[in-house]
Structure formats: C-alpha cells, structure tokens
Amino acid sequence: MTPDASPLFVLVAGEASGDLLGAGLIEALRERFPAARFAGIGGPRMAACGMEVWHPCEKLSVMGLVEVLRHLPELLAIRRDVYKRTLRHRPAAFVGIDAPDFNLGLERRLKQADIKTVHYVSPSIWAWREARALRIGASADRVLCLFPMEPPIYVRHGVDARFVGHPLADAFALEPDVVAARRELGLPSNVPVLALLPGSRLGEIRRLGPDFLHAAAILKQALPDLRIVAPMANAQCRGVFSALGSLPADLRIIDGNAHTALVAADAVLLASGTAALEAMLAKRPMAVAYRIAPLTHFIVKTLGLLRTDLYSLPNILSGQRLVPELMQDACRPDALAAALLPFLRTRTTPPELLGEFRRLHESLRGGGSMAAAAAIAQLCAASADAQVEPL
C-alpha cells in the first residue's frame, strides 16, 4: 500500500503546555508530510499552525479529583465526540498530547478500532505507580517520552517507548541572554526583577494568585526598586489574575512571552508544572508552590497515591532538592517571599545550582519536535508496510 500523500493526524492537547508541544509537532510533521492535515483539540498555537479545532483545549484544563467531578459530564461528551469523529475520519495516527486522564481511555478505544495511537508526554509513572506503564501500553502503540529516565521503565513492562527529548530544551539557549531579554521587555538592567507565574489554568490562578501577589508585595517592601513581571498564558488568565485584588507597585502583566520574562528575571515564583522546567532552562533561581483542593489532597495522601516526596521537575530530574518546594499549607506569602529574597538581593544564581541546571538542560536535548515527528512517521510507515499483501 502506498502511504497517503496527505495524511490526517488527529491531535488532542489539554492545556497551554500541550498546545505549545502540539504546535511544534504539527510543524515538524508538516516537514515530512507537506500536504498533511490536522484536526482535534488544541489551543491558539495549534490553530495558528492550520489545525481544525474541534474543541478548545481550555475545556480539558481541569485539575484535581474533586474539580474534575464538577466538569465530568462535559468532558465525557467531548471525548465521545472526538472518538466518533476520529473513527469517521480514520487518521494515519491519533496523538494524545499529555492530558492522560482524558487521552488514555480514548486512545485505548481507538487502538481497539485498529487506529494507530501515540501518547506524547509520558504520565509521571515514576511519581505515581510504575504499574501504570501497562495501562498506558494498552492504550498507546508508542509512547514518546520527554525525559531520559522514562523509557527504561516502559521497557520493563514491554511497552514501546522512545526518548525524543524535551522541545523546551531546544527553545532555550544554554547561556541565556539576560541583557537582550530585559531590553525586549523594557526593564532596567540595574534593578532586581521578579517573575510571577501562577499557572495557566484559571483554578490555579485563583488558588495561588492571591498568595503570589502578597509575597510580591512583601518583597517589594524589602526591595523598593524591585520590578515584577507576570506573563499570562491568555486573555482569560490575565482577566482572572488582574481581578484578584490590589496589585503591588511596579507590577507589569504581559501577554505570553513567558520565556523572555523568565530569562529577564533574577528569581521566579511559579506554580509547580512545566513552568519550573522553563525556569530551570532559563537558569533562574525559583520557588515552586502549589495548592490543590483540601479534599483532593486528603484523598491523595490517605490512599498513598503519590510515590515521591519531590514535586517539581528540576528536583525530580536531579534527584535532590535543588529548588524550594512550598506545597499546600507551606504555600504562604511570608514563606514564598523568604525563599526568594536572598536571590533577589544578590541578583545571582549560585554556581552549584547553575552547574546542575546546565547539566540537566543538556540531558534533555534529544531532538524534540523533530524526533517526535520521526517516531510517529516511523510508526505510520510500519503500519502501512504491514498492510501490504504478499504477491
């Protein structure tokens, strides 16, 4: 069988970071398949790359056990719709980008319907339960891993997994240009700068934003010349953050441009997640904070669902507490400010921290979007070859 010259790929991304990964993947797949078509769930970046958006990715941006229950009917309806559309179109491959709670069940049903399935971004099996690798293997024909320690876990369970590197590792220079970043944002070179990243989900911003702003106000009082920049993922995030209450003096809310803001900053206060990895790649000291609904936290702790005491990606990748983590009750404005004040006073990243950040940065480079596209193309080619009937 001759491979389709204009294959369709259905992609489902669940939040801003997935939208970014999806956009890079679309561009890389289009280099291999210039006439390729793309459809599914995504955000503005994937739409800008020409993907037909069936549902916006913001619909899937729900965190926590309790929070998901409130949105469950809508989420199930969206998943049924995507399943029916994908069956009707029979794409060359279905690619679930992160969002495992939504994507894995969908992938399993599509795989049973003989559609090639790829899961891009391995769930945190090292943090939850390694046995989840078997469930993921039942859903995905191939798992694309962003971190080098993940494929060996899948291999132990007979699952096809490939390390493709993290696209963000290529998006950041090994030696960040602070001067250029500050020039781009119009920030003086001789004052301390704090970056605030309270999350890309509206619920995160509502939970963490007030404490982040209070911590910033404490730091502003200690350092009167402090400048504060808060990049927002989209207009909705900006609206929620702006409405939280009185904002500290010299705080600028900007649309997007988080990478530039991170490089320009002397220290970063952020919500646990991809932003911690971005701050590490920008080589910036940080404090990582998070708080989930009390009932969700109680269930996770009581049932022992979490198998690690490290939460942020820099600490997980390093295997040590490189950066402070202030979770749940520890996430208080005074504690957040105290964790960042030394870095803002000295305006330097400690040499030992900088060296470890650089080492981790290099370990994450594996080709990123191009490697992911190659792994997907290889899977599609193998499927096409398998369908060729012998003479």
- What is the C-alpha separation between 154 and 161, in angstroms, rounded? 6
Per the domain annotation, does 391 fall within a domain? no
DSSP sequence for 314-344: HHHHHTS--S-EEEGGG--HHHHHHHHHHHH
- Cβ atoms within 10 Å of 312's Cβ, excluding its own: 28
> Are residue 113 and residue 204 in the same domain, yes or no?
no
Per the domain annotation, does 318 fall within a domain? yes
The pLDDT tens digits of the residues spanning 231-285 come to 998 899 999 999 998 888 889 999 989 999 999 999 999 998 889 999 999 999 9
Per the domain annotation, does 2 fall within a domain? no
> Are residue 64 and residue 139 in the same domain, yes or no?
yes
- Categorize the per-residue pLDDT at 83 as very low, low, confident or very high, splitting at 50, 70 and 90: very high
Per the domain annotation, does 178 fall within a domain? yes
> Are residue 115 and residue 179 in the same domain, yes or no?
no
> Are residue 221 and residue 240 in the same domain, yes or no?
yes
Residue 3 clears pLDDT 60, i.e. is over it: no
- The structural domain count of the chain equals 2
> Are residue 150 and residue 198 in the same domain, yes or no?
no
> Is 306:128 a contact under the CB 8 Å cutoff?
yes
pLDDT for the residue 2? 44
pLDDT for the residue 387? 53
Residue 244: DSSP 8-state: T
The pLDDT tens digits of the residues spanning 189-213 come to 999 999 999 998 888 999 999 999 9
> Are residue 274 and residue 302 in the same domain, yes or no?
yes
Tokens describing residue 100: 């495992």
> Are residue 324 and residue 223 in the same domain, yes or no?
yes
CATH number at 105 reads 3.40.50.2000
- Categorize the per-residue pLDDT at 388 as very low, low, confident or very high, splitting at 50, 70 and 90: very low
Residue 69 clears pLDDT 90, i.e. is over it: no
> Are residue 374 and residue 285 in the same domain, yes or no?
no
pLDDT for the residue 68? 61
> Are residue 333 and residue 210 in the same domain, yes or no?
yes
Average confidence score pLDDT of the chain? 90
> Are residue 221 and residue 249 in the same domain, yes or no?
yes
Relative to beta strand 37-42, strand 286-290 is unpaired
The pLDDT tens digits of the residues spanning 211-234 come to 999 999 999 999 999 999 999 988
> Are residue 292 and residue 307 in the same domain, yes or no?
yes
> Are residue 201 and residue 56 in the same domain, yes or no?
no
What is the CA angle 235-236-242, rounded to 5?
Answer: 85
Residue 386 clears pLDDT 80, i.e. is over it: no
Per the domain annotation, does 1 fall within a domain? no
Per the domain annotation, does 46 fall within a domain? yes
Mean pLDDT of 285-291: 93
Please name the residue ranges forming H helices in the chain: 16-32, 44-48, 65-89, 100-112, 132-139, 151-156, 167-171, 178-185, 202-222, 235-242, 258-264, 274-281, 294-302, 313-318, 333-346, 351-363, 368-386
Query: Which residue range forms the structural domain that includes residue 109?
Result: 8-165+366-386
Per the domain annotation, does 182 fall within a domain? yes
- Categorize the per-residue pLDDT at 55 as very low, low, confident or very high, splitting at 50, 70 and 90: very high
State the virtual CA torsion across 327, 329, 330, 334 in degrees, nearest 10: 130
Q: Identify the burial level of 35 via C-beta atoms within 10 angstroms of its C-beta, where 0-12 means exposed, 13-18 middle and 19 or more buried.
A: exposed
Per the domain annotation, does 335 fall within a domain? yes
Strand partners for 8: 37
pLDDT for the residue 127? 56
What is the CA angle 254-204-171, rounded to 5?
Answer: 50
